[in-house]
Amino acid sequence: MSTESFSPLIDSYKHNPDLVYQSWFLHNEDRLKAFRSIRRGVLQVISDIKDGTFPNDFKVGPPMR
């Protein structure tokens, strides 16, 4: 099977806005920035938990009656 037969299929995949290629592989810098922000937020939560400063609203307490 020649690679030429795959070209139309690949092109249609790359140009379909509803498929993963458009949302995952394009604009990769924006995605990486989001992951860095999430990582910083998670590290802050871990630090707050270790320091005992994590808000009470999120701590597990006794069951409500």
Q: Tell me if residue 4 falls in helix, strand or coil.
A: helix
pLDDT at position 43 is 94
pLDDT at position 4 is 76
Rg, the chain, Cα only: 22
pLDDT at position 13 is 83
pLDDT at residue 63 greater than cutoff 80: no
DSSP 15-53: H-TTSHIIIIISSHHHHHHHHHHHHHHHHHHHHHHHHT-
pLDDT tens digit string along 10-58?
A: 888 888 888 777 777 666 777 778 888 889 999 999 999 899 888 777 5
pLDDT at position 59 is 57
